[in-house]
Structure formats: C-alpha cells, structure tokens
Amino acid sequence: MRKFGALLLALLFALPMPPALAASKKEPKLVLMMLAAGETAQIEQQADTWESGHPDIATVSDGGLVSALAEGYTLILGRNAKGEVAVRCEVQVGEKPVPEEVLPVIEQAIAAWAAADNAAFPKYNLYTQWFNPAAKNGFGWCGAFVGYYFDEAGIEMNPEYRAKSAPPLEDGSLFAVRQASQTKLYEGFQSRNRLSHIPRPGYYIIYGRGGSTPYTHVGLVTAAEYLGEGVYALETVEGNLNARIRRYRYLYDSLAERKDRNISAIPAEQQTQPELFMYKYVDNFYINVFGQTWY
C-alpha cells in the first residue's frame, strides 16, 4: 500500500455540496487523490461508512482504503454515524483522453484568440449576441465566450439543468450550461454534482477574487499538466479580460493552504512563449473550482 502524502489533504476551503448530498450543517472535509491504476491510498480522515460513486474506477474499504482500478474520475463519500457526509474525496485515476467532442471547443476558442489579435471587443459582440441578442449595452461576456464554443461544438446546453428537478446526468456524459452569469454557471454545475478541484482540458474555470465574490470570472482550461504534490501547470483561454481574449499559462496549487493564493507564476526560465501566453495572472484572482464538462 502506498500512503498518500501531500495529495491527501483536508482543505480549509471545503467544496459546497449539492442539495442531494448536503445533509450536514458542517461542510465535509475535501480530499484530493491522483492515482494510477493498481495503486492504493489511505484516506486519513475518519468516517463510519464509505461509498464510491464509481466502484469500477476506484473502490473504498470500510476503513477508507482506496484502490484505483481503471482510468477515470470518481467521488468517494465518507458519512458519519448520523448519515451525514463528513468527507468528500475526489479521485482521479490516470489520464483519460479528452472526448473528441470537446476538442473542437478548445481549438475554436484558441482560434478566436488568434483571430482577435489582442483587439478589444465592443460591448455588443459575437458572444453577447449569442446569449442575449437584445442586450445592446452588453454585459460581462466571459461565460458567454466559453459557452458559445460548447454550443458551436453541438454539446447540449439545457438551461433547465440549474433547476432542482432537472433530470440526472449519465455518468461522465458531456455537460454544459447555457448561461453567461458566473454565479448561474456555478449553480448549474453544482446542481448536477459537476464541481471539482481537479482540472482537465475542456473544463470551465470559475475564479474568485480576494475581497469580492467567489464567482468573479470564467475561463476555459485548454491544457493541464500534473507536476506532482497537487500542483498543475494550466493553460487557459479567457474572454472579457480588459475586453479582450487572452491566453494564460500559470501554476495552480490544488492543495494550497490558502485557497485565495492558489495561483502562481511558472519559473521564469519556462516562460518561453510570450507570443502565445501571458504568464502573470490577474492580481487577487484565485481558482474557486472547476466545472466538469466531462470525466
């Protein structure tokens, strides 16, 4: 058995639970695991019972020992004696390929960045028209920028998925929400239990800002390289930053002791493509959570 080290951590900023899982007044402890098939890891937090949402991907013993079986993602929940969720453990096994349907979303969003050539967009533009043609005065279009390309790729975007009565999703199925508001996008992913702290290409990023709302800005993950110890090198494309489309490359620490400081610059010697990426991210922004469009 391999004891899980830095990647098994109870975070101070626990992920809010969807209504179906939020049985306790106290937020559950959040644990993240990155494993390869065949590996095992012990959840250090205590619970009376354990359950895996996808036992074909990873199982969990009565004592909290996780066994990774196949590539994919699963959520493991630990409940206390009252049946309340006390531990939420996200497990990523291997590197399952990005679905072919999602690849055009990434490609077209990057192509839009190249075509824009750092030009500022007017308030009434392609993305605001897509979401609300009547909004002649425009609105914050970061969410509409990402949503537009999911719509173009033909991925179903049902606005009713924000409703508590929305139909359940098939495991790992493609998912997006036809919304532009950062808060409503968050609610849409939350309502279907599609929020995660583990990034994958094609996921929505929901940013917060220090001293402000935890739903400040939305972007698209275009690449995610796991570097170990909870740290990822992320590449993103994002709309409506200074009215422009921008690409970024930075480090995301999923296990940061302070969530509001989980973004940092990659080493200077690795900042080799200034024609493609901006390497310094927006001051006071942090990654709140990712919206899973697939897993």
Residues 121, 78 within the same domain = no
**Domain end residue (candidates: 31, 60, 95):** 95
The answer on 113 and 12 residing in a single domain is no
pLDDT in tens, 208-242: 998 889 999 999 999 999 999 899 999 999 999 99
Starting at the edge strand that comes first in sequence, how are the strands of the sheet with 217-228 ordered?
A: 195-196, 285-291, 204-209, 217-228, 231-241, 244-253, 263-264
Give which of 192, 200, 218 is closest to 288, Cα–Cα.
218
| pLDDT, the chain, mean | 90
Which is it for strands 49-52 and 217-228: parallel, antiparallel or unpaired?
A: unpaired
C-beta of residue 235 within 8 angstroms of C-beta of residue 271: no
242 exposed, middle or buried (CB, 10 Å; 0-12, 13-18, 19+)?
A: exposed
Considering the chain, what percentage of its residues have pLDDT values greater than 70? 92
Per-residue pLDDT for 60 more than 90? yes
Tens-place pLDDT, residues 7-59:
444 333 334 444 344 444 678 899 999 999 999 999 999 999 999 999 999 99
Tens digit of each residue's pLDDT (9 = 90 or more) over 94-122: 989 999 999 999 999 999 999 999 999 99
243 plus 180 within the same structural domain: yes
Mean pLDDT of 245-258: 95
95, 129, 152: which is the final residue of a domain? 95
Least confidently predicted of 60-69, 156-165, 185-194, 204-213: 156-165
Q: What span, in angstroms and rounded, lies between the C-alpha atoms of 67 and 58? A: 5
Domain that holds residue 148: 103-291
Q: What's the pTM value of the predicted model, to 2 decimals?
A: 0.88
